[in-house]
Structure 1
Amino acid sequence: MSRLHVVSGKGGTGKTTVAAALALALAAEGKRTLLVEVEGRQGIAQLFETETLPYEERKIAVAPGGGGEVFALAIDAERALLDYLQMFYKLGSAGRALKKLGAIDFATTIAPGLRDVLLTGKACEAVRRKDRLGNFVYDHVVMDAPPTGRITRFLNVNDEVAGLARIGPIHNQAQAVMRVLKSPETAVHMVTLLEEMPVQETVDGIAELRAAKLPVGSVVINMVRPEMLDPAAVDIAANGRRAAVARALSDALAQTGFAGADRAGLVEELVDPLVAQAREHTERVALERLGRTEISGLGLPTYELELLGDGVDLAGLYRMARELRKQGVAR
């Protein structure tokens, strides 16, 4: 099983929510998971209904089933660079002085590749970290990563840094990060919706990851809506059979006690809107089935999470985690 889980997806697909649910699912049965945020949005704190995350690893939840723990870390590029300067150059207070002068912000702005090395490097360090007994501190690290359009470049930090530093500590750090990111320890998961654009971005994103030889994990289809019509009703709606809909509606109203004249008037008033809604539903179902076919063609493990009608609160997050475990994501 992979130990670093990188979660990406088109904006609006719920990748942060899925990353949080995955962290809970992986932490079950006494495991320890670190949930990492790299975009500075504090989305994890909002999901777990806690205060803004500092630049430190903090316990935020107990996982369902066995008392596993979820820790969270919001990685800040400037603070990560200070750690880096202390680790390799022992700058200490001099590094903090550079921050006050704005030099660190300047460095991470003019060299975005360096920023990605720092962000991914912090997560990879957590993957490799061991305690005094030689055991891994975290069983799993889950990264809420940048969206699909930027994920391959973000993870392929070695290419980004090649022109920045060909030798020295920065180069060595990038190489160490890439050894983790391109190893079986890592899996990049894509979150999508059963809609045309998210599915296409998922297909394209996975092709880019494979071309860069980055390890692809699975596809999580989020916010899946139920199919509300049986096959016979789908056929009626798809073919616009107004008379059949009117008959079915009249029979349904008759069972509720509507008299003949009142029933006929109500049927006439409701039948066209119902036919239109049914047709829209069948068109959506057809598009969703096409999306599933495209995703199936990727040859990857696929998991589905239903649409939560009231939005995702903390209870909904635990519900999603249980569903992921039920589908075998943590086995």
Structure 2
Amino acid sequence: MSARLALALAFLLVAFIAEAGTVRLATWHLELDRDGPGLLLRDIRRGEDPRLDAIAGAIATVAPDVLVVQGVDYDHGLRALGALRDRIAEDGPYFPHLFALRPNTGRPTGLDMDGDGRRGGPRDAQGYGTFSGQGGMAILSRHPFDRDGARDFSAVPWRDLPGAVLPRWPDGRPFPSDAAQAVQRLSSVGHWAVPVRLPSGPLTLLTFHATTPVFDGAEDRNGRRNHDEIRFWQRYLDGAFGPAPARRFVLIGDANLDPGRGAGRRGAIRALLADPRLRDPLPGRNTVDWAQTGPLRVSYLLPSTDLRVTGAGVHWPPEDAPGRAAAVLAGPHRLVWVDLALD
């Protein structure tokens, strides 16, 4: 059987599954961000980056109905995201519906936010970034979004999270200053609740990309922020930020934290995984392999307990298997997916 015929049969199978009432969701930290605005769009249009071919091939293999991605630069009009969508469609599924909002990455504050005594650096933005929009997140979907029903929590002040563990100097003063904490947003990239209109009814995606818990000082600014970015979702489901869905929702994204290994305040992710409102279809499965840390689990797909999981996996072909070299080339993060039966 030719590769082209196999791909066509795979898409027919996916279409049959979708019609049968199953939806496949996936998330992947692509690490496609560039050092300046417009460079990602340029590189996609040039078609000379072999990583893009590897990424498109993996997405074609998994063939999700809805794909949440991180590490994609945001621009007005979503031109880079649209170009990425079109590149994916050359090998795999076409996603007619795109959703992305301006992230906190690179958004200037005018203040010293990291305590180094200087202003205007990438760590002085609301979220780390050399320009506004660097390394944002996005959703690509075969199904339309309920845009009027979408909620963006990215502007929520960190100090407004109930029980926030804000950083302090050794003498107890707010780190790096009270003025900085007054404007500091909780989200390093974003926190969104986005309903997707499926034939069986809406499914709400609760998506985010938390900061890394390292690359700071003794004040543990990043570790504390990562902890609270994760903990936000439990407070949201508790009703602390307005009405929250009671059913048919999926928490999906990059928490940048493993529940058992690596740096960080692991209590937050452990509490999230143990929350009785969520189910974990992939316990213990690694989703990234960094040279500095080895394999870790940092990306998550956690459906609400009313949803029935019919399949789940991490796209990582074994040694010497077809697609392994491409998966390695695509980057250290792995494509994570779950199938849900929506009766």
TM-score in terms of structure 1 length: 0.35
Report which of the two has the higher share of helix.
Answer: 1
Question: Of the two structures, which has the highest relative contact order with CA contacts closer than 8 Å and spacing of 6 or more?
Answer: 1
Report which of the two has the higher share of strand.
Answer: 2
Give the number of the structure whose alpha-carbon radius of gyration is greater: 1
TM-score in terms of structure 2 length: 0.34
